[in-house]
Amino acid sequence: MTAPGGDARQGRAVAAPAWSAADRAGLPRPLTVRAVADENRRTRTLTLDAAVDAVAGQFGMLWLPGLDEKPFSLRAADPLAFTVAAVGPFSRAVHRLRPGDRIWFRGPFGRGFTLAGVDHLMVGGGYGTAPLHFLAADAARRGDRVRVVIGARTSADLLMADAFRDLGAEVIQTTEDGSAGTRGRVTTAVGPLLAAADRPDTLYACGPHGMLAALEDQARAAGVPCQSAWEAYMRCGIGICGSCEHGGMLLCADGPVLAGGA
């Protein structure tokens, strides 16, 4: 397996093509796949030959000409990387890409996470875990405390536990079938953490909308601020089509990260 962003972590410079006026206007830019890494049985990370100015929680649009264009949260910005689950025709086509192949990118778009405080609790459900690794890396560079709850249906669906541990994060895993970690959903593990004397300064979450709503209720009851990435299908990514409307807001422009909790 090739580790996403391995060159950057080893101190070698990553060559990033200059961003043009077309890129800044939001037009698709062709990029080359540098590396491909399997994360679990249906999830793969692609590292591209570019670096962008972005924060965790923002997203980009990936396009394969003649097929489709879809939104994906950034796994990393330098080098640019995306973690993609094979759930449909487009994502399966992305999984077939190999180093040297081309894919088109536009972005980054949306509002991302903002690190608040020095003790962070990050909660990821399914492949919503990926953008939280981006955030955890930022917090680790600051020397902050990072605790991560990773949830999935089964042990085979869990993502990135070792990658978080490599950052120095404390990792708790939950599975609905009890095949790894705590049996139950992420809320089962989050409750005691929010009630503890050393509760986190802020909770950050990404995953299914039902999970986010439940976590926001928990955070509100505990008096802990919460930031949730409400990922959704976005057709345009720039606030025109209205396909990502959520509670009177457009998630591509007003989000996807929204404040909640206390």
The neighbour count for residue 37, using CB atoms within 10 Å, is 19
C-alpha 84/C-alpha 75 separation (Å) is: 9
C-alpha 146/C-alpha 9 separation (Å) is: 19
Cα–chain-centroid distance for residue 170? Answer: 18
pLDDT in tens, 46-74: 999 999 999 999 999 999 999 999 999 99
pLDDT at 126: 85
C-alpha 110/C-alpha 239 separation (Å) is: 10
Beta-strand relationship, 245-246 and 249-250? antiparallel
Residue 35 pLDDT greater than 70, yes or no: yes
> The pTM is what?
0.86
Residue 14 pLDDT greater than 50, yes or no: no
Percent of all residues in the chain with a pLDDT value above 70, rounded to a whole number:
86
pLDDT in tens, 203-243: 999 999 999 999 999 999 999 999 999 876 676 777 777 77
The tokens of 20 are what?
């043009």
Helix %, strand %, coil % for the chain, to 5?
25, 35, 40
> 256 preceded by cis ω (within 30°)?
yes
C-alpha 187/C-alpha 176 separation (Å) is: 11
Averaged pLDDT, 76-93: 95
Q: How confident is the model at residue 261 (pLDDT cuts 50, 70, 90)?
A: low
DSSP state string for 20-44: -HHHHTT--EEEEEEEEEEEETTEE
DSSP state of 75: E
DSSP state of 210: H
pLDDT at 150: 96
Cα–chain-centroid distance for residue 213? Answer: 18
pLDDT at 191: 96
Which stretches of the chain are assigned E, i.e. beta strand? 29-40, 43-48, 59-64, 68-77, 80-85, 102-109, 119-125, 145-152, 170-175, 182-183, 202-206, 225-229, 245-246, 249-250, 257-261
Residue 161 pLDDT greater than 70, yes or no: yes
Torsion 245-250-255-261 (CA) sign? negative
Q: How confident is the model at residue 254 (pLDDT cuts 50, 70, 90)?
A: confident
pLDDT in tens, 115-133: 999 999 999 998 889 999 9
pLDDT at 51: 96
Beta-strand relationship, 119-125 and 202-206? parallel
